[in-house]
Structure 1
Amino acid sequence: MAITILSLHPLENLPEAPGSDKTHHLIAYAALAFPTALRKPKRWPIIIIIFALYSGLIELIQPYANRYGEWMDFLANISGLLVGILMAFFTNKLTKRAQ
């Protein structure tokens, strides 16, 4: 829900925030994917694909919400999903090793 609001809320200017816009996209989508990939519910890869499609849809809708849709943002979103999956993979591996 937070990603939708932050991505589609009309803005006159982007707010000042440390880091680049692409870094914020990567972090948001890594945070979205991490718990799903960590928990691995039934058909979790399909959920990740839905997240990817969702991020592309947001980029397509943004021009209609007084925002800018960018393909580089979409690539940052996909990268974030991959980072979240990798973080969950290594977290699960470390947790199993500690048991």
Structure 2
Amino acid sequence: MTRPATALIRVAFWVSLFSVVVLSLLPTEQLPPQVSLVWDKAQHAAGFAGLAVLGLTGYPASFKQVCFGLLLTGAFIELAQHLSGWRHGDLVDLFADLVGIVVGTGIWMGAKHLNR
């Protein structure tokens, strides 16, 4: 991958990560209403899958750090929500984040294998 492409992916990763953290900590009145509990967990998984793909593509030599860092970010978000007073932390959300990281890692590994 070229340097400009790698730089662009890294910027996309950090902007996306920042966006996920900010949106996760907004008061619930400022967010669209949830349709169902399943949709909430799917959003967690999809968001962290996308972050995993971007992070691993931008930092392929830092596999463990990207995956562990994303899991720590998910844990931080849930703890911050619990302490916020306007959101509530949920271990099932953290599990959905983990599922997303695993799925995103699988997508990244599959794409890497296809590009050989």
Tell me the residue number matched to 1:68: 88
The code of the aligned residue for 1:69 comes to G
Tell me the residue number matched to 1:80: 100
Alignment gaps of 5+ in structure 1:
none
Tell me the residue number matched to 1:3: 20
Alignment gaps of 5+ in structure 2:
1-17
Q: Which has the higher contact order (CA 8 A, sep 6+)?
A: 1
Q: Flag the structure with higher helix content.
A: 2
Deviation, 1:13, is 7.7
Does the residue aligned with 2:43 lie in a helix, a strand or coil? Answer: helix
Deviation, 1:14, is 5.4
Query: What are the Cα deviations for residues 50-74 of structure 1, in whole angstroms up to 9, with x where unaligned?
Result: 1101110110110233111100000
**RMSD of aligned residue pairs (Cα, Å):** 1.9
Task: Give percent identity, aligned residues only.
Answer: 28
C-alpha separation in 1, matches of 2:54 and 2:29:
33
Q: Calculate the TM-score normalised by the size of structure 1.
A: 0.84
Tell me the residue number matched to 1:25: 44
Deviation, 1:43, is 2.4
Conservation of the 8 A alpha-carbon contact between 1:26 and 1:80: yes
